[in-house]
């Protein structure tokens, strides 16, 4: 899957919108490269590009649920694994992923998701959007 380069401005308080299509029964990975408004890579190691210092680095969490317009239960349909690239943390790269076992259990339809990154008591809803889940058609032989 292609990398989505996003510009994140923590002062705006608005998440970047990114939409995906997910094929049921297959591995899914969404890759993001985060830059600030000056084009500098977001630093997920100890001090980010807007000067927020941390001694613990950044962590992330992400979930998806059925779209509100089609009757969300309020419970997550899936919880993504969020991987922050610590080898190039200053480049602002992270991924969200689900394995084929998890995607196989998803019903087809439109879902909403978001990604939250945090360090200590600082939290940002950095990305949100929709995920269209398409059912798997063929199976491996």
How far apart CA 106 and CA 30 sit, in angstroms, is: 17
Fold exhibited by the domain 3-134: Immunoglobulin-like (2.60.40)
Residue with tokens 């398409």: 134
Whether the model pTM is above 0.85 = no
pLDDT in tens, 6-37: 888 888 889 999 999 999 999 999 999 988 88
* pLDDT tens column, 42-85: 877 755 555 555 556 778 899 999 866 555 556 788 999 998 87
Structure tokens belonging to residue 114: 């978001």
Q: What are phi and psi of 100, to 5 degrees?
A: -60, -30
């Amino acid at each position: 899957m292609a990398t989505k380069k996003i510009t994140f401005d923590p002062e705006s308080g608005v998440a970047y919108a990114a939409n995906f299509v997910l094929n049921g029964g297959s591995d899914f990975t969404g890759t993001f490269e985060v830059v600030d408004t000056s084009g500098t890579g977001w630093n997920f190691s100890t001090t980010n590009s807007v000067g927020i210092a941390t001694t613990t680095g950044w962590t992330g969490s992400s979930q998806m649920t059925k779209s509100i317009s089609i009757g969300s239960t309020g419970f997550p349909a899936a919880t993504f694994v969020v991987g922050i690239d610590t080898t190039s943390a200053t480049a602002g790269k992270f991924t969200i992923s689900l394995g084929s076992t998890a995607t196989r259990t998803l019903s087809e339809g439109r879902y909403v998701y978001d990604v939250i990154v945090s360090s200590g008591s600082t939290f940002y809803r950095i990305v949100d959007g929709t995920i269209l889940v398409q059912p798997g058609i063929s199976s491996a032989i």
